[in-house]
Amino acid sequence: MKKFVKHILATAALSVSLSAPVMAEAESAVNLDELLTKLEQGQLFQNQQNKQRESEFLAKKEQQVQMLNDAQARRNQLVQRSEQLETTFEENEIHLADITNTLSNRMGSLKELFGVLQQVSGDMKGKFQNSIISAQYPGRDVFLDELAQKMGQSSKLASVEEIERVWFELQREMTESGKIVRFNAPVVSADTGTKTEQEVVRVGSFNLVSNGKFVEYVQQTGSLAELSRQPSDRYLATASAVQDKKGELVEFAIDPTGGSILGLLVQAPNLQERVEQGGTVGYVILGVGLIGLLLALERFISLTIVGGKIKRQLKQATPQANNPLGRVMQVKNDNPQADSETLELKLSEAILREVPKLARNLTFIKIISVVAPLLGLLGTVTGMINTFQAITLFGTGDPKLMAGGISQALVTTVLGLVVAIPTLLLYTVLNSRSRGLISILQEQSAGIIAERAEQGE
């Protein structure tokens, strides 16, 4: 009996999962008879639902068959349309090939002409962008760029007007490159950065000049601007001459590269910048050289004055106390009774008193001529140490870094030689003049001694 009850309960559990109303009724049953009745009624209800579902499925099956037939018919239509399009595409390809061959045959040599025209347009575009003539005739490169793109991408043919314009622009570039033309254009000032309308002189396709200064053509903006650094005065003088003197032959420095050489020329440091590259050692060398020059100038003036007085004293018998020779000759008058040996000693003493005055500061000038190259060598060694330290940190990938450091290091050597060479020459000249004056004193002293010796005899 227990097994039968378990079987009935299991069957009831299965029926619960099939129908919610049946499960509700089974839960409301109070005994086995009522449960059996409820299950029997639920089975009948389930059978009715299954039959209803089968009928709905059969009805939808016919609908699905109809939809399948419609889809197959649509597919057949699309396949047929695809075959028609493929046939049309093949016919169009054949027709296009025939038309292309006909076009090539009819173009003949014109095809090569348009190819050359496209290449020339591209080359001329780059030439016009960098040409200073575009400062006077702007917009030429835009037309050539559009023409090259038109012929290259869309394979369109150039019109007769476009071909003639290319010819005209090329001829104008050739013609204008041999002219000196004046025109007004806005120029950006290098000092203030303001743009003002000025007269610009274009020398062929080489240089632009305005207000006595060199002007560059900025390709990116299509404007004119003064060079931030101008070349040396001798080049600026030619720029002023070509702008001021109209219709006259003047000397002018042209840049055949269109600005490249001028750009490198203005980057070269001037004399002041070269001196500044020498650093502290360079300024010390220049200071020492200036001191040596002042001393040499003082010695030159002093020896010149003393030499003139000595020459005037040679023409006079009466000794004067305002010159070394007069003071030496005065020793003879101060010692009229002295013998020749005593007088010789007194004259030698007088000459020895005059020698330091005549040779004053000459030794210091000589020392400067020797020390200046040593200071230059010191600056060079210091600069080379800094250069090799930079190479250790950054490597040798940039030759300009190493070349610039070596150039700065050698500036002190140049400054040392610049100071030493003229200082040594000045020392030689001044020393020779001083010795000449001392020789005159010794010569006159020997003459006085000889005269006293003759008197004694």
For residues 192 and 208, what is the distance between their CA atoms, to the nearest angstrom?
Answer: 20
* 447 or 24: which leads in pLDDT: 447
Calculate the CA dihedral of residues 376, 378, 381, 383 and round it to 10 degrees: -70
For residues 430 and 424, what is the distance between their CA atoms, to the nearest angstrom?
Answer: 10
Tokens of 78: 């699309």
For residues 131 and 263, what is the distance between their CA atoms, to the nearest angstrom?
Answer: 15
Tokens of 225: 């601007």
**Beta-strand relationship, 223-226 and 213-218:** antiparallel
Q: What are the contacts of 265-268 at 24+ separation with CB within 8 A?
A: 265/231, 265/235, 266/227, 266/228, 266/229, 266/230, 266/231, 267/229
Average pLDDT, the chain: 79
pTM of the model: 0.56
- Does residue 165 register a pLDDT over 80? yes
For residues 344 and 433, what is the distance between their CA atoms, to the nearest angstrom?
Answer: 24
- Does residue 294 register a pLDDT over 90? yes
- Residue 311, Ramachandran bin (φ over 0: left; ψ between -120 and 50: alpha; else beta): alpha
pLDDT classification of 396: cutoffs 50, 70, 90: low
Least confident of 13-27, 307-321, 375-389: 13-27
For residues 413 and 233, what is the distance between their CA atoms, to the nearest angstrom?
Answer: 26
For residues 252 and 210, what is the distance between their CA atoms, to the nearest angstrom?
Answer: 14
The pLDDT tens digits of the residues spanning 67-109 come to 888 888 899 999 999 999 999 999 999 988 888 777 667 666 6
Provide the pLDDT for residue 35.
Answer: 67
The pLDDT tens digits of the residues spanning 20-58 come to 444 444 445 456 767 667 666 666 667 777 778 877 777
Radius of gyration over alpha carbons of the chain, in Å? Answer: 56
Can you tell me the mean pLDDT for 2-29?
44
> How far does CA 65 lie from the centroid of its chain?
80
Provide the pLDDT for residue 171.
Answer: 87
If you count DSSP H runs as helices and E runs as strands, how many of each does the chain have, helices first? 14, 5
Residue among 369, 409, 374 nearest 388 (CA): 409
